[in-house]
Structure 1
Amino acid sequence: MIRAIALDDEILALKIIENYAGKIENLSLEKIFNIQSDAQRYLNKFPVDLIFLDIEMPSKNGLDFYKSISQNTKVIFTTAYSEYAVDAFSINAVDYLLKPFSFERFKTAVEKVKLNSVTDDVQYLSIRADYKLHKINFNDIVLIEGLDDYIQIHLKDNSKITARSSMKNILEKLSEKDFIRVHRSYIVPVNSIRTIVNRNIHIGEFVIPIGETYKEVVMAIVNK
């Protein structure tokens, strides 16, 4: 199921999207918004797979709004202005719908999202940070560390990517067979759990404590 929201300052445009979305299987339009701050608050609390997003709005431009979103969310722009198309696709928009668009055109755009969901993130983690969309190979991740409202992804080339996300949300984007949460502040690749000393996992220079809540699951992996 694709969880979506729509943001447009025109109520009529939102009603059209709401009508079209209701006709498509496996698409759930969770909320519609005509005020950006309301949409932002929702995105800060709930994971969303897709945003239908207008570009010309009274406050922040839709392109800038999308760049400011911390969670990895796909976007289909819905606008009356063709001149933003190049900029939209440069930030990995799934599609660009020019108003007024038909149901068939809308459906085609959503089908692209479904196709990407099957093929895109099987071997990769896609996450937005520093106003860019990062596509990270699972094999390049050393560990993921929770820092309050942010997570820090430590990579094999010694670089780090810091993004606004909860540990719960980031875990949902990872392969269950390849990654495991071992502590409220740490997620590690399963195949990295080789050495455990005094209830600490050693991965290179990192010493990661095993939380009491996660001890049983970690030990089950080690004893396989």
Structure 2
Amino acid sequence: MIRAIALDDEILALRIIENYADKIENLTLEKVFNKQSDAQKHLNKFPVDLIFLDIEMPAKNGLDFYKNISQNTKVIFTTAYSEYAVDAFSVNAVDYLLKPFSFERFKTAVEKVKSNTENNDAKHLSIRADYKLHKINFNDIQLIEGLDDYIQIHLKDSTKITARSSMKSILEKLSEKDFVRVHRSFIVPVNDIKTIVNKNIHIGDFIIPIGETYKEEVMKNLNR
């Protein structure tokens, strides 16, 4: 299921998107917004997979709004202005719908999201941080650490990427067979768990405690 929101300063445009979205299976349009501040508040609390986003708006340009979203959210731009197409795809937009667009054109754009969700990033984690979209190979992840409203991805080359996300949200983007949550603050690659001493996992220079809540899941992954 693709969870989506729409942001456009034109109410009629939002109504059209709502109407089209209702006709597509596995797409849930959770909210629509005509103010960027309201959309941002929602995104801060409820991560979504996709945003239908207008570009020309009274406050901040839609492109700039999208660049400031810290979570890994795909975007389909919906605009009356063709001159933004190049800029839109430079931020990895899934598609660019030029108003007025038909239901078939809308459906085609959503199908691209579905295809990307199913086939792309099968061995990668895509996450937005530092105003950039990072595509991280699963094999390069040493561990993921939770820091309040942020997560820190420790890479095997000793670099770190910090992004706004919950541990629950980031775990949903990872492969179940490749990663396991071992503590409320740690997610580790299953195949890198080589040694457990006194309920601690040793990975590289890190010593990670196994939380009591996660002990059974850890052992299940080690024994499969």
TM-score tier, shorter chain, comes to over 0.9
- The CA deviation at 1:121 is 2.0
1:48-101 Cα distance to aligned partner (Å, 9 max, x none)? 111000011111110111111111111000011111111110000000011111
Instruction: Provide TM-score, normalisation by structure 1.
Output: 0.97
Helix, strand or coil at the partner of 1:175: coil
Tell me, yes or no, if structure 1 residue 181 matches structure 2 residue 166.
no
Tell me, yes or no, if structure 1 residue 112 matches structure 2 residue 112.
yes
> Partner of 1:4 in structure 2?
4
AA partner of residue 63 (structure 1): L
The answer to whether the Cα contact below 8 Å between 1:194 and 1:222 also exists between their aligned partners in 2 is no
AA partner of residue 125 (structure 2): L
Structure 1: distance between partners of 2:91 and 2:28: 24
Residues 1:200 and 1:80: Cα distance change in structure 2 (over 3 Å): same
Helix, strand or coil at the partner of 1:180: strand
The answer to whether the Cα contact below 8 Å between 2:81 and 2:98 also exists between their aligned partners in 1 is yes
- The CA deviation at 1:220 is 3.2
Tell me, yes or no, if structure 1 residue 215 matches structure 2 residue 215.
yes
Helix, strand or coil at the partner of 2:24: coil
- Number of matched residues? 224
> Partner of 1:26 in structure 2?
26
> Partner of 1:77 in structure 2?
77
Moved more, 172-181 or 21-30: 21-30
Helix, strand or coil at the partner of 2:194: coil
Structure 1: distance between partners of 2:104 and 2:162: 39
Helix, strand or coil at the partner of 2:122: coil
Q: Which runs of 5+ in 1 are unaligned?
A: none
AA partner of residue 174 (structure 1): L
Structure 2: distance between partners of 1:201 and 1:41: 37
AA partner of residue 52 (structure 1): F
Helix, strand or coil at the partner of 2:175: coil
> Partner of 2:171 in structure 1?
171
> Partner of 1:121 in structure 2?
121
The answer to whether the Cα contact below 8 Å between 2:190 and 2:222 also exists between their aligned partners in 1 is no
The answer to whether the Cα contact below 8 Å between 2:153 and 2:160 also exists between their aligned partners in 1 is yes
- The CA deviation at 1:41 is 1.2
Helix, strand or coil at the partner of 1:5: strand
AA partner of residue 92 (structure 1): N
AA partner of residue 96 (structure 1): Y
Q: Which runs of 5+ in 2 are unaligned?
A: none
- The CA deviation at 1:176 is 0.6
The answer to whether the Cα contact below 8 Å between 2:179 and 2:189 also exists between their aligned partners in 1 is yes
AA partner of residue 204 (structure 2): G
Pairs within 5 Å for 1:48-197 = 48-197=48-197
AA partner of residue 115 (structure 1): S
- The CA deviation at 1:218 is 1.6
Root-mean-square deviation over aligned CA pairs: 1.0
Moved more, 102-111 or 124-133: 102-111
Structure 2: distance between partners of 1:183 and 1:102: 48
Structure 1: distance between partners of 2:94 and 2:53: 11
The answer to whether the Cα contact below 8 Å between 1:145 and 1:153 also exists between their aligned partners in 2 is yes
Identity %: 85
